[in-house]
Amino acid sequence: MLFKQQALLRQKLFVLGSLAIGSLLYLVARVGSLDRLQPLCPIDGRFGLRDQDEIPLRALQFKRGLLHEFRKGNATKEQIQLQNLVQQLPKAIIIGVRKGGTRALLEMLNLHPSVVKASQEIHFFDNDENYAKGTEWYRKKMPFSYPHQITIEKSPAYFITEEVPERIYKMNSSIKLLIIVREPTTRAISDYTQVLEGKERKNKTYYKFEKLAIDPNTCEVNTKYKAVRTSIYTKHLERWLKYFPIEQFHIVDGDRLITEPLPELQLVEKFLNLPPRISQYNLYFNATRGFYCLRFNIVFNKCLAGSKGRIHPEVDTSVITKLRKFFHPFNQKFYQITGRTFNWP
């Protein structure tokens, strides 16, 4: 009997020991694979990145942690100077389009070790009051970063605001401009859904999309409706082209960013002259959310807030057809100007 109990105990200890060793080996393998997934390689010099600026991944992760503390304001001036941290004006701006996937794009680009995002929409160029505060005010709104990193800001209102192209041009005529677009009718409905949700939150009633998008007098598309106007991408882009050559823009396919984000992000890395560092490891599909979420490392994952990826209300098919027909010629012009063609109906 005693012998049987001892044997059972030995068996249990053996199983527990194997489990512990197995977990340890798994962890070692995972940490190792992290380094392999984002190998070190020289960084291209367009943004002033030099070989000696290279930081090994673990150091980068450590520094990212420190950056987090600085952003939270838990750092003294001395610490900031010691770490060589600076607040830099953006080298690239996501100028729009509202509901195109601007937040997802910014957050995904922020996975890149050479990118630092301005978390909030700054609204410097589209808001007269902010703009009057000057470029130094704008710079001070930027997060702390290392000199070799690039800062990216997103304020989707920039794309449609009259004064913005000239103002950005005056600050930096060689800035890189990112525009993320979706199929125009879907984008307009997404825009409407956001406003509708705001009204519902305040217990207010709101019109149906159909009523806003179609002029009841003419039965034609209501071009005075902002959600419709914003989706006429070519009209807005033409204003920007008075200041910036088309080479300074990169168009991101917002519909593809939802279903297949990596290739879209790789195109952006190329446009920004960044070495390819964002990998499939950094993006995983979350079936509950129905969207890709972000994986920074073995412990830190995040999905976008619930306000991203709302369920759209059903819209009358004849209205959708009318809108698609309306947008068609503008889309053709947009493809022609940008050199990027989409399968929009």
Question: Is 100 labelled a binding residue?
Answer: yes
Residue 228 CB, shortest distance to ligand A3P, in Å, is 16
Which CB sits closer to ligand A3P, 203 or 307? Answer: 307
Is the previous residue joined to 97 through a cis bond, with omega within 30 degrees of 0?
Answer: yes
Q: Which of residues 81-110 bind ligand A3P (CB under 6 A)?
A: 98-104
Handedness of CA 64, 48, 51, 106 (dihedral sign): positive
Please confirm, yes or no, whether 325 is among the known catalytic residues: no
Residues 251 and 344: beta-carbon distance below 8 Å: no
Q: Which of residues 300-319 bind ligand A3P (CB under 6 A)?
A: 304, 308-310
Question: Is 182 labelled a binding residue?
Answer: yes
Which CB sits closer to ligand A3P, 308 or 340? Answer: 308
Residue 63 CB, shortest distance to ligand A3P, in Å, is 26
Closest CA to 293 of 100, 118, 151, 103: 103
Residue 96 CB, shortest distance to ligand A3P, in Å, is 8
Residue 226 CB, shortest distance to ligand A3P, in Å, is 15
Amino acid code (one letter) for 314: E
Please state, as a whole number, how many other Cβ atoms lie within 10 Å of the Cβ of residue 65.
Answer: 10
Question: Is 161 labelled a binding residue?
Answer: no
Q: Is 243 in the site for ligand A3P (CB under 6 A)?
A: no
From 37, 57, 80, 258, residue interacting with ligand A3P (rule: CB under 6 A): 258
Q: Which of residues 132-191 bind ligand A3P (CB under 6 A)?
A: 156, 190
Question: Is 99 labelled a binding residue?
Answer: yes
Phi, psi dihedral angles at 306 (to 5 degrees): -65, -20
Q: Is 257 in the site for ligand A3P (CB under 6 A)?
A: yes
Residues 237 and 337: beta-carbon distance below 8 Å: yes
* Separation in Å, CA 12 to CA 4, 20, 188, 345: 12, 12, 62, 64
Which CB sits closer to ligand A3P, 67 or 261? Answer: 261
Please state, as a whole number, how many other Cβ atoms lie within 10 Å of the Cβ of residue 198.
Answer: 11
* Separation in Å, CA 271 to CA 28, 274, 320: 35, 8, 34
Q: Is 117 in the site for ligand A3P (CB under 6 A)?
A: no
Residues 344 and 256: beta-carbon distance below 8 Å: no
Question: Is 292 labelled a binding residue?
Answer: yes
* Separation in Å, CA 185 to CA 25, 188, 192, 315, 339: 51, 5, 11, 11, 21
Which listed residue (63, 72, 99, 224) is catalytic?
99
Residue 292 CB, shortest distance to ligand A3P, in Å, is 4
Which CB sits closer to ligand A3P, 36 or 201? Answer: 201
The residues that are catalytic are 99
The binding site for 3'-phosphoadenylyl sulfate comprises: 99-103, 182, 190, 292, 308-312
Chain contacts with ligand A3P (rule: CB under 6 A): 98-104, 156, 190, 257-258, 291-292, 304, 308-310
